[in-house]
Structure 1
Amino acid sequence: MAHSAKRCRRASWHFPLIAILLLVSAAQISAQAQKVVAIEVKGNNAISTEAILSALRTAIGADLSQQQVDEDRRSLERLGFFHEVTTYVEPAPGGVKVVFSVVENPKVTKIEITGNTKVPEAELRKVMLTQEGAVFSEATLEKDIAAIHKLYREQGYALARVTDECTLTPEGTLKIPIAEGWIEAINVRGNKKTKTRIILREMETKPGDVFDARQLQKDLMRLRNLDYFEMLDFQPADASEPGKVVLDVNVREKKTGTVSVGLGYSSRERLVGFADITEHNFRGVGQQIGLRWEAGQFTNRSGYEFSFTDPWMLGKRTSLGFQFYNRTTNRPLLTNVVLNSAVQELNTWVFERRKGLGISVGKPAGEFTRLLLDLRSDDVLYSTVPGYLDPDQDAALTDQVLRLSDGRVTSATLRGVRDTRDLAINPHRGAFYSVSTELAGGPLGGTWSFGKIGVDLRRYFPIGRAKPDGSNQKVLATRLMAGASIGKMPLSEHYWLGGAETLRGYREDEFNGTRMLLLSTEFRVPLGTSLQGVTFFDCGYAWPRNQGLRLGELKPAVGLGLRVITPLGPLRLDYGFGTDGGRSHFSIGHVF
């Protein structure tokens, strides 16, 4: 009996529970069958009832769906304006009324932005949706934070973040602290020859600065143009505390000096014997030094040249360079000269022996601009090349004419250079502009007094898409050179056009004069990792002083070329077609 009583008691406990479940189920079934006849919003003050209702999908006249009511509650929560949202259903004539009760967030009485040093507060407020006097919304704040991050990224500050301390105080002050990503330290890795300070001095970015991707790109371009490294990149690393970063500068050095002795061939000197020492990172401190001795078959004379440049004199970005030289060059000379009040035609090959020294000082005048002052003093002596005098020409007269160009040239040249090329040795984009004014004689002394003005304008346009490292980038390169002069000027100071470095398809220095114009265009196409094909068009001429400037006399040339990319620069082979046929040219480096 005891067992039976126990089972009855258990059964009597189950009966009320079953009854309750049946009642709830019946109520739910009844509710699901009922129509929504009214929707009420309670508790809202700043947020209008219309704005709240527009966020709901529960509609008057529809069957009541608790699932939809719950989804509407979550939708209101996602608006971000409410601290709490509750719902309940009340009986109403003809159906039920759904009530949405909300507790609004406090109003934002003040927005306080801190930590911003690179982006003005006014610019930050422009991208924010949250306004003072409006109800605080977490959803809107999330959009504001994303907009602030985007604004910083667009200006190059890729590591800037709104910190986790972003809060709304009980008084309604919205505090937005920003960590802009300060650079704690810069570590240089991989340099064995180049001194660390030499690398760091080229960078505008310093420890304590905000991580600026745009400035770092400029620093990277400046370091690449040093031509000390075959690999160079920047990598951010974790710092000792949040909001800061360590910048690793990773390099792999390449050879920056050459020593060569041997025989070579040039379009100008034919067979050449030479000894050459160059180093453009002397002692690992960035100094440039060069020594060359050369003897040419055509000139049958030897020459030498020594140069030295310190790009950072006394630890400042002021360059100082000097050179002294004694060299002989052969030139074809076809020109008209005035001698004894008569015009005489001169047609011969001449030796130009130039001995002198030069000093150059340069100083930055902007981010990409430098001003340079060049001083030089040359002693120049001319002579005819045996066996190359026109048989119909008087040798004594020729010698008399050449003596008119012997003497000393002492001059000062002021140059302004703006260089925005991405890579000076093999540019893909950017520009190089140079404007110069030279004055000779007068207070400087020397045999002649004259003035010259010149421009050298180059632009580089990337064509099509390229790999991230730019290794397969097609490039359209253009150049305009022009020059003019006043005063009495010797042959050594004339503008000389023709040959590998100026007007291809013609002899070296085939044209000379006191005014000059040269236009060049190249289309450069990669043919592999170290080979480049080129098509080019050159057009230019040099006019003597006693001849008018006639553009119809411009000499055109078209041609093809190959560039073999080496650590020393591109080895260049061109074949140009001028008005008198084709001619090959070989040299080192791009023409421009």
Structure 2
Amino acid sequence: MKNMCVGVLLCAVMLTCSAALASEAPTVLSVGVTGNERITSEYILGVVETEPGSPLERDILQKDIEAIYNQGFFSFVDVELRPEATGVAVTYSVRENPVINTITFTGNTIYKSETLMKEVFSQVGTVFNRAFFRNDLDRIQERYHKDGYVMVRIADVRVDDGDINIYILEPRVGEVIIQGNKKTKTHVIRREIKLKKGDLFNVVHFRHHLGKLQAMGYFEDVNVGFDTPDGQDDVVDLILTVKEKKTASIGLNLAYGTESGFSGGLTYGDTNLSGLGYNFEVGFEEGDEARYWGNISSPYMDKDTFAWRIGVSKWNYEDRFYHYQGKKQFEYDEKALSAYAGLGRKFGRDEEWSWFFTLRYLDVKYKNLHNAIPGYHDDLMKWSGTNVSAELQFTLDRRDPYLPYPKGYVWETYLEQALEALGSDFQYLKYWTQFRYYYPLNQFIDGLVDVDNMWTEDSPILFAARIRIGSSTKDELPAFARYSLGGINSLRGYHSRSFEGSNVILGNFELRVPVQQNFSLVGFYDVGHASGSLDWGNLKDNYGIGLRVKTPMGQLRLDYATGGDEDRTYFGFGEMF
């Protein structure tokens, strides 16, 4: 902006009234303004302290000049003192700023000029006001910063005879430098940072990428630095310094279950095998539910990178309980060998869509039916055999990726085909779809309830819902392929696998209420049924409360449900959906 100048001329009074000033200050006879064309004298004089009838004081005159100048409408302010017989007349001389002809923007690519003009209160055809315009610039910059463009700044403003040009500097990403990684391959880290060279830097997006990087579990710490190359004010280099931690672990477990009795086992896993981001695990458990397994997967996917998984497991379960329509029927033994291999990738312009294809093999034997109740129902033992199936999953994920909580929805559709042509003893087609929805409720609660630090913009009260419905081409599916409900991840008021069949409907509804930064309360309601037919009049339901606690190991989950024959308590990790 052009420099504005302020001057005070007291020469007249010093030359003609020096004697009076030396002995006694003259009286102010009148106060006026000259030079103003559009700004009224009343508005200008509204900020001066010098008044008719008061003694003339140099300090107050100086304050008056500064106050008029600070009104923002003038490029020059002076004062003239005209001696008269009984005192002195005070006249403030002003030079108005030019009338605004145009306001233009240069360098803006994020927002159109029309959008930025909505933040500008200064209008074409009015006198340029320096103070008002400074607030306009603050609002423009605040608009950028609020949307995450915190490095954008007003680089220059030029005012030329009423034509105003605002130059905006929008920094773009230069180099992304990654250092400190010894095991993890650089490309594994870099692919999580979606910012490319030449992209506009947005701190909200960048914070999201960092969150995903830290959630990988490979690093104790991730530090970020910024650097501007010499002579390139519109470029910012990102410097990521990581401190790695051990990702391999050995687990030893000992457990007791009412159905399974005592069991124990050993596992070895690495969530970053060879620094390539692969998940690897092998393990075994011994006891009434003996199991051996091994799997490896690469979970990362985008439109150019395939995710994949391969696994095999073998188990030998003794004295398992079989339930029919929520009631225990008998005990049995189960022996099986299972293997799978899958491949998937994202697609679509914004990579909201993804697909995953999986081939599955299962050879299962049910035997040794015992401890049956009188008149028991057996819909299990006849289903021993080999099953080979292909599963195709499509997912549309429209949750906001830049929020620290889920908002939006996820729609998933599955097709599972078992074919005798693939060597299977069974042939069927299963199809089901699932919809998950998340919505923050703070806007409806604010003003009704005022509890400090319980819920914030980044940790709101959240409504979460999941609807699942599925069917098949067979009225009767093999026992291992049936839809099942009951337990910690479906109908929480019922025993695991209480309801099974070739059709399923399920609804889970939760109200998640933050209490403190690391604690949340959850109220929930579950309703659904699985059977040979969709019987809407025979739905089972339950309700309950839960507690969520954030810990270094992850989010702990405790649910207490009332429904069915008895109340049930569950302990686990993460949300149910």
| Matched residue, 2:10 | none
Note the alpha carbon deviations across 1:521-558, whole angstroms, 9 max, x for none. Answer: 476878998xx68666453442312462225x414254
Q: Higher mean Cα deviation, 348-357 or 68-77?
A: 348-357
The one-letter amino acid paired with 1:482 is: R
Q: Does 1:413 align with 2:400?
A: no
Q: Is the contact between residue 111 and residue 175 of structure 1 (CA under 8 Å) also seen in structure 2?
A: yes
Structure 1 residue 148 corresponds to structure 2 residue 140: yes
Shift of 1:363: 0.6
- 1:333 maps onto 2:327 in alignment: no
C-alpha distance in 1, partners of 2:93/2:78? Answer: 5
Deviations 1:242-264 (A, max 9, x none): 45444343444343332335544
| Structure 1 counterpart of 2:18, one-letter code | V
Q: 1:493-525: per-residue Cα shift (whole Å, max 9, x none)?
A: 222222333333533212223213242547687
Q: What whole-Å deviation, never above 9, does each CA across 1:374-415 have from its counterpart, x for those lacking one?
A: 333333534144423345459xxx48x643574525233333
**Equivalent in the alignment of 2:344:** 361
| Per-residue deviation, 1:179 | 2.0
Shift of 1:149: 1.7
Which residue does the alignment assign to 2:372?
389
Q: Distance in 1 between matches of 2:548 and 2:154?
A: 53
Hey, what does 1:39 align to over in structure 2? 32
**CA–CA distance in structure 1, aligned partners of residues 460 and 99 of structure 2:** 58
Q: Which residue of 1 aligns with 2:445?
A: none
The residue identity in structure 2 corresponding to 1:180 is E
Q: Structure 1 residues 564 and 245 mapped into 2: Cα distance closer, same or farther (>3 Å)? A: closer
Write the mapping of 1:40-119 to structure 2, written as runs, cut at 5 A.
40-42=33-35, 44-45=36-37, 47=39, 49=41, 51-59=43-51, 66-91=58-83, 96-119=88-111
**Structure with bigger gyration radius:** 1
Distance 1:455 1:267 in 2: 32
* CA-to-aligned-CA distance 1:3-22 (integer Å, 9 cap, x gap): xxxxxxxxxxxxxxxxx999
How is 1:542-581 mapped onto 2 (pairs within 5 angstroms)? Answer: 542-546=529-533, 548-550=535-537, 553-556=539-542, 558=544, 565-567=551-553, 569-570=554-555, 576-581=561-566
| Aligned counterpart in structure 1 of residue 329 of structure 2, from 337, 347, 369 | 347
Q: Which residue identity does 1:487 align to in structure 2?
A: T
The answer on 1:127 being equivalent to 2:127 is no
1:515 pairs with 494, 501, 504, which one? 504
- Preserved contact between residue 321 and residue 328 of structure 2 (Cα < 8 Å): no
Name the SS of the counterpart of 1:550 in structure 2: helix
Match of 2:470 in 1: 484
**Root mean square deviation of aligned Cα:** 4.4
Moved more, 195-204 or 248-257: 248-257
Cα contact 1:161–1:178 (8 A) shared by 2: yes
Once residues 547 and 145 of structure 1 are traced to their aligned partners in structure 2, the CA distance between those partners, rounded to angstroms, is: 63
Counterparts of 1:57 and 1:528, CA distance in 2: 54
Higher mean displacement: 58-67 or 282-291: 58-67
Q: Give the total of aligned pairs.
A: 547
| TM-aligned CA deviation for residue 202 of structure 1 | 0.9
Distance in 1 (CA, whole Å) between partners of 2:344 and 2:382 is 33
Greater mean deviation of Cα atoms: 571-580 or 411-420: 571-580
Q: Would the aligned equivalents of 2:490 and 2:526 in 1 still touch at CA under 8 Å?
A: no
Unaligned runs of 5+ in 1: 1-19, 337-344
Match of 1:436 in 2: 413
Residues of 1 paired with 2:163 and 2:550: CA distance?
Answer: 65
2:296 paired residue number: 307
Give the Å deviation of 1:355: 2.7
Counterparts in 2 of 1:526 and 1:142: CA distance versus 1, 3 Å: closer
Distance 2:123 2:283 in 1: 71
Q: Cα deviation per residue 1:8-54 (whole Å; 9 max; x = unaligned)?
A: xxxxxxxxxxxx99962425767633522x62413x44555555445
User: What is the rounded CA distance, in whole Å, between the counterparts of 1:34 and 1:434 in structure 2?
Assistant: 80
Structure 2 counterpart of 1:226, one-letter code:
M
Q: Distance in 2 between matches of 1:101 and 1:559?
A: 75
TM norm structure 2:
0.78
Alpha-carbon distance in structure 2 between the residues aligned to 1:375 and 1:256: 27
- The answer on whether the counterparts of 1:497 and 1:540 sit within 8 Å (CA) in structure 2 is no
Give yes or no for contact 1:305–1:326 (8 Å, CA) kept in 2. no
Which has the higher mean CA deviation after the structures are superposed, 452-461 or 68-77? 452-461
- So what's the TM-score if we normalise by structure 1? 0.76
Aligned to 1:376: 359
What's the CA shift for 1:416? 1.3
Contact 1:335 1:544 in 2 (8 A): no
**Counterpart amino acid of residue 207 in structure 2:** Q
- Measure, in 1, the Cα distance between the counterparts of 2:286 and 2:27: 109
Distance 1:536 1:98, change over 3 A: closer
Cα shift readout 1:433-484 (whole Å, capped 9, x = no counterpart): 342232425798653233322315264869966699999x797674434222
1:198–1:286 Cα contact (<8 Å) kept:
yes
Aligned with 2:494 (options 499, 503, 506): 506
Show the counterpart of 1:259: 250
One-letter amino acid of the structure 2 residue matched with residue 374 of structure 1:
F
Compared with structure 1, are the counterparts of its residues 256 and 574 closer, same or farther at alpha carbon in structure 2 (3 Å cutoff)? farther
Q: Which residue of 1 aligns with 2:159?
A: 168
Do the aligned partners of residues 409 and 219 (structure 1) sit closer, same or farther apart at CA in structure 2, a change above 3 Å counting? same
